[in-house]
Amino acid sequence: MSAVALEQQQFTPVERRVTFGGLLRSEWIKFWSVRSIVVTMAVAFVAIVGLGVLLAWATASSFADPETAQQMAAQGFDPVSASLQGAQMASLIVAAVGVIVIAGEFSTGMIRTSFAAAPGRLGVYAAKAVVLAVSVAVVMGVGVLLAFLLGQAVLEREGVGASLGDENVVRALLGHVAMLTGFALSGLAVGALLRNSAGAICTVLAAIFVVPLLLMAVPESWGGETIREYYFTNTTINALGVTDQSAYLEPAAGLALFAVWIAVLLGLGALVLKKRDV
């Protein structure tokens, strides 16, 4: 074999296809190697467990007063919600994580490398969504369960705790996990739409926290009740507790509509990623 032939054999490039499995591995490594994401996920976990136990303890202290206990019982006390108040704060945090996952790469320019490796772009976006959803569901799911168990142990001192076998308790726990996962994915979608971390985080936080408050001021003559019932963050309300509120959708219908909201947001994000230049 001649020297030229030997050199060609040694340096012939090998074409390798980018598979979705490879994209998943890449996004998994990126997700858990970014310090800000790891720290933010840890803060969300602490918020669920720490605030849940703290507020459960405060609630249990209130039951020590017979008059207060009677008022809370008359209002329909929900022990599950009492131990999972920290999930409301955590929902804002995981939404910010979703934004950082994609908008952070736009700010650093790393997204160009990702899209150069997978020119179709949507594979990268889908891999980010899967890794984000799985990570949030698992980590926050553990946090929700731990907050429930510890919170109910505190409430049980006053005889008002609940157990996993009670009616609708498991549904409420799964509802919280679904809510947290959905908010994280909504952050990813808005991050893809705006491509700016600060702007996307402010937008998501406003949609989750501010808009529902503003909708309370919409008069019934303008369809305020219907708007509030079908608005993004309100669709999961009955899935988060053991008792249903008649003003909002039933748990199954609410979660289904919540999934539609998330799918639409993710679809808009995919459309923008496909059409706009990096």
Q: pLDDT tens digit string along 141-154? A: 999 999 999 999 99
pLDDT of the residue at 245: 87
Cα torsion at 53, 54, 55, 60 (round to 10°)?
Answer: 80
Kindly indicate the confidence band of residue 63, based on its pLDDT and cuts at 50, 70 and 90: confident
- Could you give the CA distance from residue 240 to residue 179 in angstroms, rounded to a whole number? 8
Q: Which residue has the tokens 């406003």?
A: 206
Q: Does residue 43 or residue 223 have the better pLDDT? A: 43
Kindly indicate the confidence band of residue 3, based on its pLDDT and cuts at 50, 70 and 90: low
Domain map of the chain by residue range? 36-275
Model confidence at 8: pLDDT above 60: no
pLDDT of the residue at 117: 84
Q: Which residue has the tokens 């999961």?
A: 236
Residues with Cβ within 8 Å of 215's Cβ and at least 6 positions away in sequence, in order, are: 224, 227, 228, 231, 234
- Going 84 to 133 to 232 to 217, the CA torsion angle's sign is positive
pLDDT of the residue at 10: 56
Kindly indicate the confidence band of residue 6, based on its pLDDT and cuts at 50, 70 and 90: very low
Lookup: tokens for 85: 């108040």
Q: pLDDT tens digit string along 231-255? A: 999 999 999 988 888 889 999 999 9
Model confidence at 162: pLDDT above 90: no
Residues with Cβ within 8 Å of 143's Cβ and at least 6 positions away in sequence, in order, are: 44, 45, 48, 49, 90
State which amino acid sits at residue 250: E
Give the other-Cβ count within 10 Å of 50's Cβ.
Answer: 16
- pTM to 2 decimal places: 0.89
pLDDT of the residue at 68: 63
Give the three-class secondary structure for 152. Answer: helix
Q: With CA atoms as reference, report the closest residue to 96 among 259, 180, 205, 210.
A: 205
Per-residue burial over 91-108, b if 16 or more Cβ lie within 10 Å, else e, is bbbbbbbbbbbbbbbbee
pLDDT of the residue at 246: 85
Q: pLDDT tens digit string along 117-130? A: 888 899 999 999 99
